[in-house]
């Protein structure tokens, strides 16, 4: 499977039956991640990007569940895989890093033991050699004085160190793919930068593929090669980071790019996208973005809006991709990525 | 603050509590109608003989003077002599204390043994049949009073067809105690376990939704491992406090259970002494109960701190 994508999500559908109705959290999302690639999944809060990530791992929060689609990891469908097989893959071949390292670490377990757990299960290491491995991993993710820190509890460490522990946990069984759910959102800006650089270095060193889920376009610009933009449970645009940032072909992507403040942008004032994301119990008909879209036309308010290929590796769900393109012509978004 | 200093401070705090208890008990028992001298001498006693006994026991003095005498003996570890047994009250209590401690510790142990697996089984599949069963059945135990449960257990397992356990008594030696005290301890457990199960199930369900459980699952750990090593340890922390309160409550509740099973414990001594108006013994037992309750809370706090590294001693 070395040629094909390491991860391919096809037409994934996730629903959460709540008392007020069924939330269509992910509604036909498809992404494809090549081996060794860094892939960004971008969108606002509640657009379904974290749900997509959780669904890949089979770890949807209650009462969410997958109602359709495939998650192919090295060609094997994880949606239909047995619980035992899923456990082998989780932590072994696919690892995950969460947004909030304080709550994602067990508060009453020493961090060294938390790192050593997975190698005991997946690599069959003894307790002692798993501990040795944990110390080694802590060194590699840049934790000073690992012998002392391994005996610490999460609350005794700083946010940055805690996230390094999470990264060490993720790396502990030499995974092929790491899923990062907003890995830097909960951290200070300076620490964010350190953690991103660390992830980039480790990616090169270990040769793993990484999927970043984030709302922070700066993170994507810094770390990813390929990206997918998600809106209201659907993927609305895909392509290389370079091309999408330079020439967005979906009004939502354009809006996101225009509303980034700390960016080498040529605009004078900060724009924001009008309106609020739709309720996913009853999403709007037609293009889900049309109520907020400045370029919306008659034909946007009904029908299906699947991704349409533009060129090699590029696709957009917008049926008027020239409109955002013309807008970028007038006023470029990014001076240089 | 480290653990020994914390324990020392908590034990010191016990002194004012104990003094307060002595005052309350001393004056309240004298409010209760009845006279130990008349109880002892019978209804046909002459006033002269009653007065003589009062003088002998020091009951002719005013209450504050009696209290002062009581306290000055107490600081020397002397609870006074029992009016009826004519031996030191301390001796009576010390002889019976092991039975009561056995009952409390054995009962607590059993209730934990019952509650832990049941709560884990219930929480592992929320709203499934096993969850519903675990939620409802223990409530039945909670609804029955201990004396009734005790009698039923005796009927079922000590009398009639199933004579597995003695009807009463404390037994001899460790294994003898273990066997003789099983039904009393089970009665205690039936009263406490339902509360523990409910508390533990609720906190387990809460913990199972937390991020670190998702992390544990994302590591590919077996579900049993996730439940026992990650969830249970965290869920137990909040249940320890609930258990502490209940053991504190149980210290007083041993009275009834010791009576049903004819256990020669402190609770039984207490009941007899109250009926006989044996003031020194009642005062002594109450003081011991108060100290036990405070100790239980102290132990609860220490256990809590051992389970949760985030707890600091203040």
Give residue A313's pLDDT.
82
What chain A residue is nearest to B235 in terms of C-alpha separation?
A: A108
Closest chain B C-alpha to A167 CA, distance in angstroms: 12
Q: Quote the percentage of chain A above a pLDDT of 90.
A: 59
More reliable by pLDDT, B310 or B113? B113
**Residue B103 — very low, low, confident or very high, per pLDDT cuts 50/70/90?**
very high
Quick one: pLDDT at residue A268? 57
Structural domain range at position A59: 1-82+214-337
Whole-number Å distance between alpha carbons of A190 and B32: 73
Q: What are phi and psi of B204, to 5 degrees?
A: -65, -45
Q: Which CATH architecture has domain B93-307?
A: Orthogonal Bundle (1.10)
Kindly give the pairing relationship between strand A209-214 and strand A38-42: parallel
CATH of the domain at A47: 3.40.50.300
Of A123 and B173, the structure prediction assigns the larger pLDDT to: A123
Mean residue pLDDT of chain B comes to 86
Nearest to B90 by CA among B311, B310, B287, B300: B287
Q: Do B214 and A104 touch (CB under 8 A)?
A: yes
Partners of B222 on chain A (C-beta within 8 Å) are 87, 121
Instruction: For residue B129, give how far its alpha carbon lies from the nearest alpha carbon of chain A (Å).
Output: 18
Q: Do B222 and A166 touch (CB under 8 A)?
A: no
The whole-number pLDDT of residue B246 equals 87
Asked, for residue A139, whether it belongs to a domain, the answer is no
Question: What rounded mean pLDDT belongs to chain A?
Answer: 89
Q: Which residue numbers of A have CB closer than 8 Å to B's CBs?
A: 54, 57, 59, 61-62, 86-92, 95-96, 98, 100, 103-109, 117-118, 121-122, 153, 155, 166, 169
Residue A30 lies in a domain: yes
Per-residue pLDDT at A138 exceeds 90:
yes
Strand partners, A65: A15
CB spacing of B221 vs A118 below 8 angstroms: yes
Above 80 in pLDDT, residue A17? Answer: yes
Q: Look at residue A75 and tell me if it is in a domain.
A: yes
CA nearest A153 in B: which residue? B309
pLDDT, tens digit, for every residue of B105-158? Answer: 999 999 999 999 999 999 888 888 888 888 888 887 778 888 888 888 888 887
Average pLDDT over residues A141-147: 93
Q: Give the residue, B90 or B155, on which the prediction is more confident.
A: B90
Any domain includes A198: no
pLDDT, one tens digit per residue, over A69-111 is 999 999 999 999 999 999 999 999 999 998 888 899 999 999 9
Domain ranges of chain B: 15-74, 93-307
Integer CA distances (angstroms), B273 to A302, B90, B255, B282, B288, in order:
87, 13, 12, 6, 14
- In the predicted structure, residue A264 carries a pLDDT above the cut 60: no
* Residues in chain B within 8 Å Cβ distance of A89: 220
**What is the least distance, in Å, from the CA of A118 to any CA of chain B?**
6
The answer to whether the Cβ–Cβ distance between A108 and B309 falls below 8 Å is: yes
The tokens for A59 are: 């770890």
Q: What is the pLDDT of residue A337?
A: 43
CB atoms A108 and B214 under 8 Å: no
Residue of A85, A74, A78, A34 lying closest to A60 (CA atoms): A78
> What is the rounded average pLDDT of the residues B238-250?
87
- Average pLDDT score over residue span B258-266: 88
Residues 6 or more apart whose CB falls under 8 angstroms from that of B73 comprise B79, B80
B215, B220, B225 ranked by CB distance to A105: nearest: B215
Tell me, what's the pLDDT at B94?
A: 92
Strand pairing partners for A178? A95, A210
Let me know if residue A113 belongs to a domain.
Answer: no
Q: What is the pLDDT of residue A85?
A: 94
Query: Pick the residue with more confidence: B206 or B160?
Result: B206
For B309, which of A59, A90, A153 is closest by C-beta distance? A153
- By C-alpha distance, the chain B residue nearest A165 is B215
In the prediction, which pLDDT does A153 show? 95
pLDDT at A1: 43
Residue B232 C-alpha, separation from nearest chain A C-alpha, in angstroms: 11
Provide the token pair at B308. 């949760």
Residue A270: which pLDDT band, with cuts at 50, 70 and 90?
A: low
B5, two tokens: 């200093």
Q: Is A76 left (phi over 0), alpha (psi -120 to 50) or beta?
A: beta
For helices B233-260 and B89-124, the axis angle rounded to 10 degrees is 130
3-state secondary structure chain B: CCHHHHHHHHHHHHHHHHHHHHHHHHHHHHHCCCCHHHHHHCCCCCHHHHHHHHHHHCCCCCHHHHHHHHHHHHCCCCCCECCCCCCEHHHHHHHHHHHHHHHHHHHHHHHHHHHHHHHHHHHHCCCCHHHHHHHHHHHHHHHCCHHHHHHHHHHHHCCCCCCCCCCCCCCCHHHHHHHHCHHHHHHHHHHHHHHHHHHHHHHHHHHHCCHHHHHHHHCCCCHHHHHHHHHHHHHHHHHHHHHHHHHHHHHHHHHHHHHHCCCCCHHHHHHHHHHCCCHHHHHHHHHHHHHHHHHHHHHHHHHHHHHCCCCCCC
pLDDT tens, residue by residue, A53-73: 999 999 998 889 999 999 999
Q: Quick one: closest CA in B to A151, which residue?
A: B309
B230 with A62: Cβ contact below 8 A: no
Backbone angles phi, psi at A20, to 5 degrees: -90, 0
Indicate yes or no: CB of A100 within 8 angstroms of CB of B210.
no
Judge whether residue A44 has pLDDT over 60.
yes
- Any idea which of A236-250, B9-23, B165-179 has the lowest mean pLDDT? B165-179
pTM of the model: 0.82
pLDDT of residue A334: 65
Which helix (H) or strand (E) segment holds residue B284: the answer is helix B279-307
Omega before A15 cis (within 30°)? Answer: no
What percentage of chain B carries pLDDT values higher than 70?
Answer: 98
Would the CB atoms of A103 and B222 count as touching at under 8 Å?
A: no
Which of A243, A330, A266 is closest to A295 using CA atoms? A330
User: Are A149 and A111 in contact, with CB atoms under 8 Å apart?
Assistant: yes
In a domain, A218, yes or no: yes
Q: How many domains does chain A have?
A: 1
């Amino acid at each position: 499977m070395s040629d094909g994508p390491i991860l391919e999500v096809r037409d994934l559908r996730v629903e959460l039956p709540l008392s007020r109705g069924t939330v269509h959290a992910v509604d036909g999302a498809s992404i494809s991640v090549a081996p060794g690639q860094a892939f960004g999944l971008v969108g606002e809060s509640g657009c379904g990007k974290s749900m997509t990530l959780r669904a890949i791992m089979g770890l949807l929060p209650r009462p969410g569940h997958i109602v359709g689609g495939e998650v192919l990891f090295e060609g094997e469908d994880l949606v239909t895989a047995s619980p035992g097989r899923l456990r082998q893959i989780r932590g072994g071949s696919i690892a995950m890093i969460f947004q909030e390292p304080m709550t994602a670490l067990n508060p009453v377990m020493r961090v060294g033991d938390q790192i050593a757990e997975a190698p005991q299960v997946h690599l069959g290491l003894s307790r002692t050699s798993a501990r040795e491995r944990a110390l080694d991993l802590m060194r590699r993710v840049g934790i000073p004085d690992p012998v002392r820190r391994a005996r610490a509890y999460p609350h005794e460490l700083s946010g940055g160190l805690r996230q390094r522990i999470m990264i060490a946990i993720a790396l502990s069984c030499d995974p092929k793919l790491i899923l990062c759910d907003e890995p830097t959102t909960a951290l200070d800006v300076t620490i964010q930068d350190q953690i991103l650089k660390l992830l980039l270095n480790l990616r090169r060193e270990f040769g793993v593929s990484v999927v970043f889920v984030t709302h922070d376009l700066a993170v994507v610009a810094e770390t990813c090669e390929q990206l997918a933009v998600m809106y209201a449970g659907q993927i609305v645009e895909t392509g290389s980071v370079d091309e999408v940032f330079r020439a967005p072909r979906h009004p939502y992507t354009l809006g996101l790019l225009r509303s980034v403040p700390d960016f080498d942008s040529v605009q004078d004032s900060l724009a924001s996208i009008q309106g609020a994301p739709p309720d996913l119990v009853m999403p709007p008909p037609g293009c889900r973005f049309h109520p907020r879209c400045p370029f919306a036309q008659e034909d946007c308010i009904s029908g299906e809006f699947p991704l349409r290929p533009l060129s090699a590796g590029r696709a957009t769900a917008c049926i008027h991709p020239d409109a955002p393109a013309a807008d970028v012509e007038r006023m470029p978004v990014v001076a240089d990525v | 603050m480290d653990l020994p200093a914390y324990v020392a401070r908590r034990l010191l705090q016990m002194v004012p509590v104990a003094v307060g208890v002595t005052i309350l008990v001393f004056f309240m028992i004298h409010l209760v109608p009845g006279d130990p001298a008349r109880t002892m001498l019978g209804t046909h006693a002459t006033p002269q003989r009653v007065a003589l006994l009062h003088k002998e026991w020091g009951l002719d003095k005013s209450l504050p003077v009696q209290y002062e005498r009581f306290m000055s003996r107490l600081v020397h570890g002397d609870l006074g002599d029992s009016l009826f047994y004519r031996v030191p009250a301390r001796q009576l209590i010390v002889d019976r204390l092991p039975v009561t401690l056995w009952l409390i510790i054995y009962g607590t142990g059993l209730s934990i043994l019952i509650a832990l697996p049941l709560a884990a089984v219930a929480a592992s599949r929320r709203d499934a049949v096993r969850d519903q069963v675990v939620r409802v059945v223990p409530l039945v135990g909670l609804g029955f009073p201990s004396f009734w449960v005790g009698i039923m257990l005796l009927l079922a397992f000590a009398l009639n067809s199933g004579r597995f356990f003695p009807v009463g008594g404390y037994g001899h030696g460790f294994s003898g105690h273990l066997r003789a005290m099983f039904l009393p301890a089970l009665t205690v457990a039936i009263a406490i376990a339902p509360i523990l199960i409910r508390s533990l199930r609720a906190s387990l369900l809460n913990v199972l939704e937390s991020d670190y459980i998702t992390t544990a699952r994302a590591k590919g750990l077996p579900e049993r491992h996730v439940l026992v090593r990650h969830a249970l340890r965290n869920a137990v922390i909040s249940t320890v406090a609930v258990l502490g309160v209940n053991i504190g409550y149980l210290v007083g509740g041993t009275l009834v259970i010791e009576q049903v099973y004819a256990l020669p414990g402190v609770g039984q001594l207490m009941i007899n002494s109250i009926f006989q108006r044996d003031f020194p013994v009642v005062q002594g037992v109450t003081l011991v109960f108060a100290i036990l309750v405070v100790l239980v809370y102290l132990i609860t706090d220490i256990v809590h701190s051992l389970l949760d590294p985030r707890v600091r001693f203040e």
